[in-house]
Chains A and B, each alone.
Chain A
Amino acid sequence: MGLILDILVQGVQMVLVLALAPGLVGFTRKVKARLLRRQGPPVLQPYRDLLRLVRKEAVLADNASWLFRNAPYLIFATTWVAAALVPTFAAGLHFSWAADLIAITALLGSARFFLALAGMDIGTAFGGIGSSREMLFATLAEPAMIMIVFTVALVAGSTQLSTVAAFMVDHSTLRVSLGLALIGLIIVALTENARVPVDNPATHLELTMVHEAMVLEYSGRHLAVIELAAALKLLLYISLIACIFAPWGMARPDDGVAGMAIGVVTWVGKLAIGGFLMVVFETAIAKMRVFRVPEFVGGALMLGLLGTLLLFVSRSF
């Protein structure tokens, strides 16, 4: 009985992340529009877009290969699995020990690998430029993420996110190393999600673009799946930051339905706050030139390394 309940909770998490991800994107677009004194599309617009795209036929370039057709589903699947493994409303989910934070980072790396390859499949200049830059950013963002994981793991004594969250609730103290890790993680999150100042999710046909350039040849259901994966990734990163640095309200493994409900409400609240703060930051800052980005992301790498080194010097930092 307990096992069935555990799997049920895990299933609820998987469905919830999927259901809420487009809503989060719609919410950030709405907030951004309001901050720019525009009316903005309705919050539910991304759902309608996805539905419309899914129903359309897919237009494939003449020389598209099997990789191009299958990559969207693989990208979506790896991102979804990664998102399902981050504790959102409840810690200690049944499958949470299937992958720790390093594995979640690497899963996102798999998604990026396929996305970059898909960008190169047709053989257009735009696809190549997008893939090339995406991989450049990743060469700095991934080690930065690993160093941040190290910092967090050395504080909490585990790379397992459920354990980390439980530790942070019980031993919530201000630490220099965690502060460095938080800033680093925000930089990584902005980079990985192609947000301003690294990339602009709202533009097409701009030579600075990265993510949009890779998916330029996609249409119909393939595009819908990729867009959904991008939304899932945004939700994943905000949930991740919330899970590590603000795990309050998350249901413990033995909490009942009431605890879960509280967990869901606080999680949605955290998502809203995280999305809002991100948009405020985006609105206040200009996009960087492409070759300034490595310095920006390299900063995250340095912060992560500094945090780790501090903890190697003394566990009390």
Chain B
Amino acid sequence: MPIAAALLSVAGLAGVAVVAPILTARRLTSATPVVYGASLVFTSVLLVSGLLGLLGGSAFQGVLHLPVGLPWTGAHFALDPLSAAFLVIVNFGAVVASIYAIGYGAHEEEPGRVLPFYPAFLAGMNLVVLSADAFGFLVAWEFMSLSSWALVMAHHHEAENRRAGFVYLLMASFGTLMLLLAFGLLAGPDGDYAFSAIRTAEHVPWIAGLVLVLMLLGAGSKAGLVPLHVWLPLAHPAAPSHVSALMSGVMTKVAIYGFIRVVFDLVSEPAWWWAVIVLILGAGSAVLGVLHAVLQRDLKRLLAYSTVENVGIVFIGLGLGLAFKTNDMAGAAALAVTASIFHAFNHSLFKSLLFFGAGNVLTGAGERDIEKLGGLVHRMPETAYLFLGGCLAISALPPLNGFVSEWLILQAILLSPDLPQWALRFLVPASGAMLALAAALAAACFVRAFGITFLSRPRSPTAETAQEVGRWQIRAMYVLFGVCLVAGIFPGPFLDALSPVSQLLVGGAMPKQPIVPHFSIIPISESRSSYSGFLVFFFILMASWAAIRVIHNFASRAVRRAPPWDCGFPDASPATQYTADSFAQPIRRVFGPLAFRAKISQTLPPPGDMAPARLNLTLRDLVWEFVYAPIEGAVLYAAERLNILQFLTIRSYLSLVFAALVLLLVLVATWA
């Protein structure tokens, strides 16, 4: 039974987490490979269980009731197509992260702060996906949050990381509280919290609506939806790079899993207006996330903001799925949901790949600030090649996988004029435009990220003396890039594998993807649209090969190396190059006034005055100013006012206790 194997592996991971402190306390150099190697083995087993559960049909799925946890309920676990799909996403990311970490972990200065929490974090994520009752789900969720918090705080000597950890802890506890309330509202008859009981319960429309809002707050804050994303660009970059990859690539997917599980599976009757909220949040996250990303100087923070964008894209797909599902358009809903889960999978691949690349840059060149990098393509050729692959995939360019999932979402949007609600009819094309804008901005963002970091001339001595990293890191990245390529060229089997998931969620599935006519995929029907990643890839390969052969054989293949031309006035100083800031300047100028209230002021000293001229640029984070700053202010204000409570006499305390008691009694009396 895959589920038993999966749970045993989770127990194994927990065991590794317990043993790890003993190994690191003895300062064994083998601790790092042992912990990551063991994590690799256990997550591989989990990956295989997930694959069996997804592809093997109902024979490999199942439920398990264990007498652990709360004494009177026990713990429920289940492996159904949805949890199997996310088990695959989680553990594929975990397997490659473990491979990567075998090499990367050797550079860790304080392994004792990372090694025990890494397997615990993996165990927590797997338990969230496997749990089939609210209690187990919440405990696993909190376990996942706390162990990842510990990993964020691994390098706590830097004040920035401590702040990141603090904000993350706050947002994570807030999120868990919201989930707690959501599950409280969902409870089945007689307060039964098993998912099977929740499914059978009838939910009043306003209760169900409240559950949606709470899920958006709880799971959305973990996934990084705007405006709950503020912790994400702080916390994800603070962790060691393989953990950043897991947090961005995988943990956000666990949050998406929680949202899908509750909203598509557990709640009995979703309403059409839910799609409106989800679409607005998704489209807003997609555009704001990438606008932030395009302006970042810190490579890892840039990647974290781009996660916000991709989560937004996934939520656009889910919103479309809700819209179609509530209007009984099962085929369209299946397309939207499949596309968005496929995008979640794709994002876990290329975001891990990019974070690994950033980790290589960090170890190889010792720098995260892209303004101080440059020219790494010569010093770190393999990292550059693989990072470029990740950039192509995340920018939704054919023939890689990011394009396929975004293409499918666009195809789903084209089915939406049949929706009866006017609000959706206006909102869906607008979110399509936002999706296209986000994709185009992502391309600009990653041209900048790759071009400034890896191309051009080194901007600092550290970049000049960068070193390529070890084999383990490169191997892990090759695996990821390979899967990106395969998922882009042969997406059909991946979509077919997701059909039981969409059957479970919306009661329909995409048409079976044909294998023969050149591996093309067909969202609805062949006359409407089709795309063959294989043919596109094959044609590009053949065309470039033919061009090279013809020119080299029949014309010239001579090459001469010379100083750069640069219109006749090359300047040897690397400072004359375009910088990351100057690259983003036009985009900032066009989108900045609206999105960031960007203001530029110049102070030019009068002639004769030797003072330097100054250019001041202010960008405002509106989400922080309008959502978080008021809350922060209110909390501080209340804390100051309530401060007097600390300095009362014993009589005043006693009377306060008495008053509270009376108040509670009155409440109980009126309630009953």
Cβ-based interface call for A157 (8 A): yes
A-contacting 9-mer, from B17-25, B157-165, B174-182, B426-434: B426-434
Chain A 134-150 interface mask (CB, 8 Å, partner B; 1/0)? 01101111110011001
Residue of A nearest to B583 (CB): A132
Knowing A67-B455, A81-B536, A97-B530, the reply to whether A60 touches B578 (Cβ < 8 A) is: no
- Residue ID in chain B nearest A149 by CB atoms: B410
Instruction: Assess whether A266 is interfacial by the CB under 8 Å rule.
Output: no
Instruction: Identify which of A97, A109, A219 contacts B532 (C-beta below 8 A).
Output: A97
Those of B510-562 within 8 Å (CB) of chain A: 517-518, 520, 526-532, 535-536, 539-541, 543-544, 547-548, 551, 555-556, 558-562
We find that the number of chain B residues with CB closer than 8 angstroms to chain A is 87
Q: Is the CB of A81 within 8 A of B540?
A: yes
Task: Look across to chain B and name the residue whose beta carbon is closest to the beta carbon of A229.
Answer: B547
Contact A290 B586 (CB under 8 A): yes
| Interfacial chain A residues near B433, Cβ < 8 Å | 143, 146-147, 301, 304-305, 308
For the complex, give the distance between the alpha carbons of A110 and B540 in Å: 11
- Asked whether, in the complex, the Cβ of A305 is within 8 Å of the Cβ of B430, the reply is yes
Q: Are A65 and B455 in contact (CB under 8 A)?
A: yes
Give Cα distance in the complex from A17 to B163, angstroms.
Answer: 58
Contacting residues, chain B, for A291 (C-beta < 8 A): 586, 589-590
Residues of A within 8 Å of B451, CB to CB, are 116-117, 120-121, 128, 131
Is there a chain A Cβ closer than 8 Å to B619's Cβ?
no
Are A158 and B447 in contact (CB-based, < 8 A)? Answer: no
* Stretch touching chain A among B231-239, B267-275, B353-361, B391-399: B391-399
Question: Complex: how many Å from CA A74 to CA B530?
Answer: 23
Residue contact B378 to A110, C-beta cutoff 8 Å: no
User: Which of B7-15, B112-120, B497-505, B563-571 touches A?
Assistant: B563-571
Interface status of B425 (Cβ within 8 A of chain A): yes
Is B450 a contact partner of A117 (Cβ separation < 8 A)?
Answer: yes
A58 contacts B by Cβ under 8 Å: yes
> Interface residues of A toward B: which range?
35 or more
CA distance A143 to B528 in the complex (A): 21
Residues of B within 8 A of A125 (CB): 566, 576-578
Inter-chain contact count A-B, CB under 8 Å?
Answer: 280
- Nearest Cβ in chain A — how far from B429, in angstroms? 5
Whether A99 contacts B440 by the Cβ 8 Å rule is: no
Let me know if B560 and A58 touch, CB within 8 A.
Answer: yes
- Residue of A107, A124, A140 with highest tally of chain B CB at under 10 A: A124
- Closest residue of chain A to B456 (Cβ to Cβ) is A123
Residue A159, interface by CB 8 Å: yes
Is the Cβ of A315 less than 8 Å from the Cβ of B417? yes
A128 touches B564 (CB 8 A): no
Q: Is B104 an interface residue (CB 8 A)?
A: no
Check A294–B590 contact: CB distance below 8 A.
Answer: yes
Complex CA gap A62/B586 in Å reads 29
Taking a contact as CB atoms closer than 8 A, the residue among A98, A100, A312 that contacts B425 in the complex is: A312
In the complex, the 6 A-B pairs of residues with the closest C-beta atoms, listed nearest first: A128-B578, A123-B456, A120-B451, A57-B558, A143-B436, A77-B544
A residues with CB within 8 A of B: 54-63, 65-67, 73-74, 76-78, 80-81, 84, 95, 97-100, 102-103, 106-107, 109-110, 112-113, 116-117, 120-129, 131-133, 135-136, 138-143, 146-147, 150, 153-154, 157-160, 163, 205, 216-217, 219-221, 224-225, 290-291, 294, 301, 304-305, 308-309, 311-313, 315
